[in-house]
Amino acid sequence: IMSRTIHLLSIRSEFNAAIHAKGGGNQEMMQGSCTASLAEISTAFHAVTGITMHIVS
């Protein structure tokens, strides 16, 4: 996940817990693995940030 407008470090713990993820990153990028579907990832991201994510895979 990449963002120039959301400080991803500030949401990482809550977001990772929501999608059962392991990983890391910095304020502009997160990477790792999770057991969630794309829809679950998008829903969790919106719940944590209030922003709809655009998924490119």
- Considering the domain boundaries, does residue 23 fall inside one? yes
Let me know: does 19 contact 34? Beta carbons within 8 Å: yes
- Considering the domain boundaries, does residue 18 fall inside one? yes
Residue 30 per-residue DSSP state: E
Looking at the structure of the chain, the number of domains it has is 1
- Considering the domain boundaries, does residue 44 fall inside one? yes
Domain that holds residue 23: 8-49
Alpha carbons 44 and 2: distance in angstroms, whole number: 15
Could you tell me the CA-to-CA distances from 3 to 47, 54 in Å, in that order? Answer: 16, 11
Amino acid, single-letter form, for residue 19:
I
Residues comprising the chain, all counted: 57
One pLDDT digit (tens) per residue for the chain, 57 residues = 999 999 999 999 999 999 999 999 999 999 999 999 999 999 999 999 999 988 887
- Considering the domain boundaries, does residue 56 fall inside one? no
Q: What is the pTM of this model?
A: 0.85
